[in-house]
Amino acid sequence: MRIGLTYTGTDWKHENYVRWLKAGDEAIEVVRLEAGGGGSMIGCDGLVLSGGVDIYPGFYEGGVDYPGSGGWKPERDAFELEMLETALAKAVPVLGVCRGLQLINVYRKGTLVQDLGPVGDAVHQNTPDDKQHTVVVDAGTVLRAVVGEGEGVVNSAHHQSVDRLGNGLRVNCRAADGTIEGLEWAEPGGKSFLLAVQWHPERMYVNGVGDAALYAAIRERFVREVGKGKNL
């Protein structure tokens, strides 16, 4: 089983994803996908879109002047949008994490809140130790079926979030302040598996924080979907 994982931009952060996805299972190979690095979705059975720097605003018609702006990597954005398009075209299961959720929304013609501001930052802004907060999971969603719970505690390290929802997507959970924390297909019937969360389950796994269902159950369901058969 081969899972394509986009490179988050920092080796130790990338390794957190690898440890979480493998969880000691040597049958799982995690393939690093990086713009200019020669990686591709060929031979991969699943795709994980990792966290990292802000998406360049030109991809969603946003302004370039906002708190925390800059440091963009448009080449990464273009590469990952291509990987996502390939995965969806080949019915490969996709899991988005933090920036990965935002990328999925942008791909589906959605927009982003470019900065959550002082109030939002009080919960969601990155710190040396991830903040933690509660999310409420909507009934009747794939995420609710996966985690089996109506709410739980997650970590948080983002200053952007979903604004206008992308075409064909639905919100599956929110933070107490209303910030969108999860996405999935609005109509999943006949489509390949797609799930995205704004928190970092890979760091929850490594650091042992938050509710296990919101990192372990998500990983288990994704791996099960990937294992249903090779798609490329």
Instruction: State the catalytic residues.
Output: 98, 200, 202
Judged by phi (left if over 0) then psi (alpha if -120 to 50, else beta), residue 29 lies in beta
* Integer CA distances (angstroms), 21 to 46, 126, 168, 220, in order: 11, 23, 27, 9
Residue 148 CB neighbours (<10 A): 10
CB 123 within 8 A of CB 135: no
Compute the 3-state secondary structure of the chain and give helix, strand, coil in percent, each to the nearest 5.
Answer: 30, 20, 45
- Torsion sign over Cα 145, 20, 53, 49: negative
